[in-house]
Structure 1
Amino acid sequence: MEEKEWYLEYQINKNRPGLLGEIASLLGMLRINIVTINGVEHMRRGMLIKSQDDEAIMRLKYILESMDVISLRKIREPKLRDRLAVRHGRYIERDEDEKKLFRFVRDELGLLVDFMAELFKKEGHRLIGIRGMPRVGKTESIVAASVCASKRWSFLSSTLLRQTIRSQLADDELSEDHIYIIDGIVSTMRASERHQMLVGEIMRLPATKVVEHPDIFVRETEYSLDDFDYIIELRSEEGEKITYEAVDSGFSSFDIS
């Protein structure tokens, strides 16, 4: 029987010496292997484990629930957020009401790049929006994630080095394996009809598209935020307000975003 991977997370109620060793010994007795282990929040520990026996996992669950020094929080097949939490030692902040909204601050760029890279590895259509003020690291993170995912990327529009507005792509850029990057402000408010036709063509392609400033993009097109699979917010620091007042007033510091 093939080994199956699980995610285990528990809250430490009493951090006594040797606690981790006791749990590791318990896993060993049940023939459950530890793949990765890390602290994921204050006084919480998460680990990826492997076992060929689902019944052993159920016995583990029963034993851990009976221990008073810890509180079992999760034991399930690992999700992407679980894997990244163990890898980086922290959980990605996800909106409780809007499940597709994920929040990051600039100090978490490594976690953000890893998160997007995992999304980019998936096949088929995927529409991702990323919000953030100028010079916070949006475009750089998208490019870095493309590299990590071993994907080629193409800018349809951008202000990374200078304003880029493409009206056509080369044959080798038209691929379902590409990552297409669109600046929602440039493409909808400053581009030609020919460019907008190209954007429409790429939006219909079963590939991953990343739209910076998705709120402006949906305001100026027929798309809605419901069309996005993921919305990412990137701030310089906690509590920073993401606003498009400079765009709406006619002057735009987003020209160098």
Structure 2
Amino acid sequence: MSSLKISQSVGLGGINNLNDVKPVQTALNKLLVLIPPTKALTVDGTLNPRIENSKTIAAIKLFQSKVLNVARPDGRIDANGRTHRKINEKLIDLTLKTTTISKMPVTKAVWMKTAINEMGESEVAGSKANPRILAYFKASKFWGTDDTGGTNAWCGSFVSWIMNQNNIEPVKSAYRAKEWANFGKKIDKPVYGAIGIKSRNGGGHVAFVVGQSADGKSLYMLGGNQENTVNVTKYNTDVWETFVVPADFDATTETLPIYTQKSSVAGSEE
């Protein structure tokens, strides 16, 4: 399932046709990691006659609460409504993660699987914040409580969290992108899994190298705070000033593959 297709509403107060409920149950089962502690739903196209006991509706409400940050979830998915669109967005993220991991080159950059698994984590508009991004902040010892705005840029915090998850010590003041130029050891040319550092208006940016274009003029970088999310973004190769790897990492064994998967294009702020 690459996307959820329904013709009418599903859930509390919905039409609940069997051919709409089944794909909703299948989609939610693919996204269980986003709605713990939900267990796999029975894909039978039906809801519990006692709506208050419906596990499918409970899963819809939990998705709306945890992923959409809805204070009062209604437990209903309308065709092409907000919940439907967000489910499809997350299914696309899941497909991209799975494809990216399956196409990882043979590498000792073990942190890259962790980084890929974070793809799709995004900022939450307004005063609320994505708990995952707040975890990135904690890893870099950044004091912010909001994940939006220029003062809460989180690319460095993202890299810090990834390294912490792999028992690799980040730099001091890891929330500052340009501080990563002091990490580990510098290498002359980018390789898969290396950390790239560049300047931008008002500061810097830091991300992981995942590949290059066929002509070598572009690099594809997996990073946080790229279009306010964790994604792979295409940059001109020459904007990257420094590449670093952990001090004990042998970069001579790594390659720089041609990247052919989905990516965004860097904006002027990145």
TM over 0.5: no
Highest CA radius of gyration, 1 or 2?
1
**TM-score between the two structures when normalised by the length of structure 2:** 0.31
Bigger proportion of residues as strand: 1
**TM-score between the two structures when normalised by the length of structure 1:** 0.32
Instruction: Using CA pairs under 8 Å that are at least 6 residues apart, name the structure with larger relative contact order, 1 or 2.
Output: 1
